[in-house]
Amino acid sequence: MNNINKLLILFEQFAYTQNEAAALNDFLDYFLLAFRYHETAEEQKRALETLINHPKRELLSKMLIEVGELSENFNDPLGDLYETLISKGRNGQFFTPGPITDLLTALVYDSNAKQGDMVLDPACGSGRMLLSAAKRNRHQLFYGADIDPLCCKMALMNMLLHSLTGEIAHMDSLSNKFFKGYVIGTVLLNGHHHPYYKPFTDPEQSRIWLRSKENLSQEAVTDPSESMRQPSERGVQGNLFDEL
């Protein structure tokens, strides 16, 4: 576990008078808003106004800086924070320690893996197995699913922090019940690759949700990376934090 003491102090200040799980959800929503793919300039403008006018913006900025620094080398301070203050082992939510995910990845990893190959964790939690796989080859496509929506947002944030490409799905992998998904990619703007995500609710858009054999045979997209390439020019995309 990283030394997250400073992050814990900042988070407790942010969560004062709030339920800690609700406070973490608010923090994640604040971060994710800046990287959402916006369909129109007006939608992007409203998102920027929300970021700028948040009453705890300064404290949120300090938390984001701390998370960014702790996340270097594919670490997961969000998962550590969640375990320490929120899950506390309830509902079996102990995340696999980083050294163990690294070991498991080493045991099953295909040394011939190349760009565009797929990695899937059907119970991803905060995304640690995906981060361990990314240490070996960050140019693969990373897919994660979890039944806990807060865990999905943490995994999504971890994917964005490391500019990974793929999908995070809020779903029950055992029953195949789908709730919501997030496609994650990058777009080249002004010489920099900006990560972005697009939420969706139609399971047919997911590459994790299981289809019937009939539907699978009719799948139009043959290249799994096709849906994650640069978004349509009709939309507006960029890291809104650049404008704060």
d(CA 81, CA 1): 10
pLDDT, tens digit, 9 for 90 and up, residues 107-147: 887 777 777 889 999 999 999 999 999 998 898 999 999 99
- Per DSSP, the residues of 117-176 read -EEEETT-TTTHHHHHHHHH-TTSEEEEEES-HHHHHHHHHHHHHTT-EEEEEEEETTTT
Model confidence at 243, in pLDDT bands (50, 70, 90)? low
Q: Averaged over 194-204, what is the pLDDT?
A: 94
The four Cα atoms 136, 32, 223, 213 give a dihedral, to 10 degrees, of: 110
Query: Is residue 156 very low, low, confident or very high in pLDDT (cuts 50, 70, 90)?
Result: very high
Sequence-distant (6+) residues with CB within 8 A of 131 are 74, 75, 76, 98, 101, 158, 162
pLDDT in tens, 32-42: 999 999 888 89
pLDDT recorded at residue 142: 96
Stronger pLDDT, 154 or 224, i.e. the higher one = 154
Closest CA to 83 of 98, 97, 92, 93: 93
Q: Each residue of 41-57: pLDDT tens digit? A: 899 999 999 999 999 99
